[in-house]
Chain A
């Protein structure tokens, strides 16, 4: 039997004093990929940020347990270093900081946290070369300032490269499919699939079925009004696709 990776119980969270999550429960085991779908404003991104520990996202009730530990007691960087990765819906630009420099700093921060030797520039370049080709990222992109002037597809592929290098145990993918054309979607999906493994869990947050054609989830959850209102197998995503949230009695407005 696989071990629990993430256990969220009765999670309530507010942003600027406004309740967004209202008693959310979610359990993800090692090796599983879960999709969380839901209409706009249902709390999907809030869920991602609360797991990552972003300031301003206040947990008022409930708990999050990550590999048996209280995740909420950990700082943002502690969570990251212990294997929680968030692929951003809108990756942030950092002018003047080369993508390779940023990646190396991040990978070495995690290695240092684990008490491992930090990579030097040569070792790191070698490592990157292996991983980036599969994602169609060329060396030129690695030298450009992080996300500055990147197209939507480049940004998302860069997120996947970061994930591949950081090798998280729990990856939260926040609308990684948004803004991608079909080819880029395929590349990103391949990147995700390549990282599926028995010791890793993923939560794929998405609006649409289309990513799930390529990344077939073990479970699908529907988030509305700050709670999981339905859970099922991958067929639930298809049902949503054909009937819409309204067809399930989940008008977007009901989520507010």
Chain B
């Protein structure tokens, strides 16, 4: 039986069980008042029953953040009104059922249409839309099924809050070791106030037997706005992790600032795939998520490999550059990216490849698609440190423009401090040609489908890096993201 089937069965049986008892425990909890001060941090930490060392770490981050008042990054090609950080709420209780839609009938029909196009099952639709139903998905229960299987192999996969309690030594050892609490404005804010996220540890020589994705999809609805993820692959291990969901999720919080840290030891490999489809705002750019993400992986050991694959179609603003620090000799970093912006969306995304070890290799394939009045920027850094003998990088950076009012920008930085390094950069900017559209339409393919076909072709190299089941969904997502961009 496949992991998916098992998950479905677990959910079903659990849902049935719940229904049998006919009631749902009220998980009413206190919320912190809006604003951010020492008390807010203590409140969050206490709510989560954290040990002293973590509270101290949070407080340190908060105090550093206070000093960073003028350090909110402005270098990105992004425009948004100043954010009032004292207005936000940093800890809120799960919504009580009376505040939530009673059924899908009360949910925005546009959202439902999208779910339908993506082929999201009904139950999952309810979960994503935040519907209060008796037979709710209970992530704890589903997680148990998976965890049993993973535990057999020694793989730890749980929420970071749980990991703090159950595996404090691992968390303490690796948390902040790739993205220090003082790293940058948003990462520092995250370090002070992070609510939850995932923790993965794969022991020596273990090949994680499943994509760590299904569980996440079910569990992801309430990971909150300050997500923190930590993945450690011990020597000779392998793990493929997929975050996010092709379906747009309902979310009340405009500001998102996540931190993801990956650590790959000798001969270990981590494959991290993201499908990001947060609410992008309406056609005029009203509303929409601000997504300020710090993602970084360290290839600590020799022959380690970290591969980032991302499909970014959502959010009003995306600020993100998943990076690799290639410390171990012969380690490999990869970055495959599709960033689609439409209407008024803005994205400033790319990667950093920091070559430190000898014979380190990196590959960057970035596909930016801009439509409507959107702005898409690729910003990348390839740095070869003096000791990185024989380092190699190949960067391919392609932009596709749809219509005449959007913008695509490429800002590649290359810093080589070792004469034996080989660094290659290729970039193209193109438009969907009238010839291509006419050719497709003459074969009976309507304009919107033709654009989807051409754009999917343009993104092919990246799409094929995604786990199979998600590649298909991602292709549909590409099409949906560009609806209304032509004609």
Contacts and interface: CB of A to CB of B under 8 A. Distances in A.
Interface of A: 52, 54-55, 75-77, 79-81, 85-86, 88, 91-97, 101-102, 105-106, 109-110, 113, 145, 162, 166
Question: 8 nearest interchain CB pairs?
Answer: A96-B457, A97-B457, A106-B443, A96-B460, A80-B444, A92-B439, A109-B444, A76-B441
Given A94-B457, A95-B457, A106 B436 contact: no
Among A75, A79, A81, A92, max chain B CB count under 10 A is at A92
B458 A106 contact: no
Given A92-B436, A92-B439, A96-B460, 6 more contacts: A55-B434, A55-B438, A80-B442, A96-B457, A105-B449, A109-B449
Interface in B437-474: 438-447, 449, 453-454, 456-461
Nearest to A147: B439
B453 A105 contact: yes
B457 A109 contact: no
B283 to A, nearest CB: 24
Contact of B444 (A77, A93, A95): A77
A245 B310 CA distance: 60
Nearest to A97: B457
Which size class do B's interface residues fall under? 20 to 34
Most chain A CB within 10 A, of B436, B446, B460, B461, is at B446
A105 B445 contact: yes
A128 to B, nearest CB: 15
Interface in B406-454: 433-436, 438-447, 449, 453-454
A179 B76 CA distance: 50
27 contacts: A52-B438, A52-B442, A55-B438, A75-B441, A76-B438, A76-B441, A76-B442, A77-B444, A77-B446, A79-B442, A80-B442, A80-B444, A92-B436, A94-B440, A94-B453, A96-B459, A97-B454, A97-B457, A97-B460, A102-B443, A105-B453, A106-B440, A106-B443, A106-B444, A109-B446, A162-B443, A166-B443
Contacts of A80: 441-444
A70 to B, nearest CB: 19
Contacts of B453: 94, 97, 101-102, 105
A148 B454 CA distance: 13
Nearest to B438: A54
Nearest to B439: A92
B103 to A, nearest CB: 32
B456 A94 contact: no
B378 to A, nearest CB: 18
A78 to B, nearest CB: 9
B454 A106 contact: no
Contact of B445 (A86, A91, A106): A106
A76 to B, nearest CB: 4
Of B436, B444, B458, B459, most A-chain CB atoms within 10 Å: B444
Contacts of B458: 95-96
